[in-house]
């Protein structure tokens, strides 16, 4: 780790050694790009939970960098190694579009650049993947989620990832019939557990058929277990806690739509990033 008098630090374990505000994971380059885009120092500081002086420190560091050259040689973020397991292109497009609606332009471009999705900064390029062909590699989904973690840290990235998952469900429901096969369940008068059983099984089948995310639903006395055998969120990532927040947001929004209950307990119990063989979500049978 290298600390600078300007309140900037570098650490190989944080953002691959790129300069950050000391004591945080906030990238200097992100702050500078925000100010360069016309966002005020006050607003930038507020967005990232830092002081205005921290932002000025970042600007000063950038000025010194230009004047004197780099003070370190941070490793570049490498392109994700494709694993040749795919989501439909439309799924990737939804994630990208959801992020674009949530964050400012510099952050959006930074995250896509970091996850090797820079081509899709251009709306015209995104139009070309507006289809259900299986062409969006799992590695890019994983890199996208990792970039959220790097830029926003926790819990900010968790909330954003869950919202992206919820948006994915709502967009799928409203625009291209992803869940058409389960739509009538919501309007029926089936008992609560029966609604869950039928709808979870149906959505697992849809995801398995449309993508390489192989899903199975089982149950015991107290809960349904939604198991993902091939997970797009864990590729190349390790963690001491579950990280499939995007799918957690998708599942929560789906269960709310099916049951109308806001308090259904949903918890990720297993995660391949933790070393488990599968990713597994528990959905309680009683609201």
Residue 177: both structure tokens together: 């019939």
Q: Where in the chain is the domain with CATH 3.30.1380.20?
A: 185-284
Using the predicted structure, report yes or no on whether residue 76 has a pLDDT greater than 50: no
> Please, what is the average pLDDT of the chain?
83
168: left (phi over 0), alpha (psi -120 to 50) or beta: alpha
User: pLDDT of 103-118, one tens digit each?
Assistant: 888 889 989 988 889 9
Beta strand 223-228 with 86-88 is: unpaired
This prediction has a pTM of 0.71
pLDDT: is 153 or 77 the higher one? 153
CATH 3.30.1380.20 fits 185-284, yes or no: yes
User: pLDDT of 191-217, one tens digit each?
Assistant: 888 888 988 998 899 899 999 999 999
Using the predicted structure, report yes or no on whether residue 232 has a pLDDT greater than 90: yes
- Start-to-end C-alpha separation, the chain: 48
Residue 218, phi then psi, degrees to nearest 5: -125, 180
* Strand order across the 266-270 sheet: 215-219, 223-228, 279-284, 266-270
Q: What CATH architecture does domain 2-68 belong to?
A: Orthogonal Bundle (1.10)
Length reported for the chain = 287
Using the predicted structure, report yes or no on whether residue 189 has a pLDDT greater than 60: yes
* Band of pLDDT at residue 73, cut at 50, 70 and 90: very low
* CA separation for the pair 229, 287 (Å, rounded): 27
Determine the pLDDT at residue 280.
97
User: pLDDT of 7-56, one tens digit each?
Assistant: 888 775 666 567 888 888 888 888 888 888 889 999 999 988 999 999 98
Q: Where in the chain is the domain with CATH 1.10.10.10?
A: 2-68
User: pLDDT of 256-284, one tens digit each?
Assistant: 888 888 888 999 999 999 999 999 999 99
Using the predicted structure, report yes or no on whether residue 4 has a pLDDT greater than 80: no
Q: DSSP H helical segments within the chain, as ranges?
A: 28-36, 41-48, 52-68, 89-102, 105-114, 123-127, 138-152, 156-171, 183-187, 192-210, 245-259
* CA separation for the pair 211, 124 (Å, rounded): 24
User: pLDDT of 117-163, one tens digit each?
Assistant: 999 998 888 888 888 899 999 999 999 998 888 877 766 788 889 99
Determine the pLDDT at residue 268.
95
* Band of pLDDT at residue 181, cut at 50, 70 and 90: low
Determine the pLDDT at residue 69.
54
Determine the pLDDT at residue 58.
86
CA dist 182 → 177, 185, 187, 209 (Å): 10, 6, 10, 14
């Amino acid at each position: 780790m290298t600390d600078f008098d300007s309140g900037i630090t570098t650490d190989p374990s944080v953002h691959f050694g790129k300069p950050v505000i000391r004591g945080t994971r906030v990238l200097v380059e992100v702050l500078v790009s925000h100010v360069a885009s016309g966002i005020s120092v006050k607003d930038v500081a507020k967005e990232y939970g830092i002081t205005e002086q921290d932002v000025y420190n970042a600007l000063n560091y950038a000025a010194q960098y230009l004047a004197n050259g780099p003070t370190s040689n941070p490793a570049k973020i490498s392109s994700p190694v494709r694993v040749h397991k795919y989501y439909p292109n439309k799924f990737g497009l939804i994630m990208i579009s959801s992020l674009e609606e949530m964050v400012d332009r510099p952050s959006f471009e930074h995250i896509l650049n970091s996850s090797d999705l820079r081509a899709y900064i251009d709306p015209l390029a995104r139009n070309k993947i507006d289809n259900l062909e299986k062409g969006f590699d799992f590695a890019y989904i994983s890199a996208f989620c990792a970039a959220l973690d790097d830029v926003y840290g926790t819990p900010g990235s968790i909330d954003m990832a869950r919202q992206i998952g919820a948006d994915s469900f709502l967009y799928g429901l409203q625009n291209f019939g992803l869940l058409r096969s389960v739509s009538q369940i919501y309007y029926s008068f089936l008992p609560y557990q029966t609604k869950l059983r039928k709808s979870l099984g149906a959505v697992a089948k849809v995801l398995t058929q449309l993508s390489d995310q192989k899903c199975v639903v089982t149950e015991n006395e107290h809960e349904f277990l939604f198991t993902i055998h091939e997970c797009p969120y864990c590729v190349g990532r390790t963690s001491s806690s579950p990280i499939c927040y995007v799918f957690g947001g998708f599942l929560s929004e789906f269960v709310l739509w099916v049951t109308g209950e806001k308090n259904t307990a949903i918890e990720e119990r297993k995660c391949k990033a933790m070393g488990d063989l599968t990713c597994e979500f528990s959905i309680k049978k009683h609201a």
